[in-house]
Amino acid sequence: MTEQQMTDGATARAQLLARRAELEALSETAREARDVVQLDQQSVGRLSRMDAMQGQAMALANERQRTAELGRIAAALHRLDTGAYGDCLECGDAIAPRRLAVDPAAALCIACAGRN
């Protein structure tokens, strides 16, 4: 591993950890918001049932997305630990640094991502 690659790895790790913290904070906020909605319905009944169901469906979808992204981040951190970071999972070629700069959790090179 060259010095440049090690620097890139450290940057990627910092980005991944920051994003993970952000996602976890979002989940925490969402959980609190859910509790507030439930209380609200019990005590005041201000929200219509429809609004509540819609909000709940959206919250669930968001939570699923966050869980999926957390999984990608955990996998990327694991690849950093094992020295496999930056290699495409499909073809093994190096993933373009620009692609990793945009999405540090990217697991596929542009060509393989395009095929999927």
Residues at the contact surface with Zn ion, assessed by CB under 5 A: 88, 90-91, 109, 112
Instruction: HSE, CB side, 13 Å, CA atoms: give it for residue 92.
Output: 0
Residue with smaller CB distance to Zn ion, 71 or 92: 92
Q: What is the DSSP letter of 2?
A: -
Minimum Å gap between C-beta 88 and Zn ion is 3
Minimum Å gap between C-beta 8 and Zn ion is 18
Report d(CA 59, CA 49) in Å as an integer. 15
Residue with smaller CB distance to Zn ion, 73 or 109: 109
Q: What is the DSSP letter of 94?
A: B
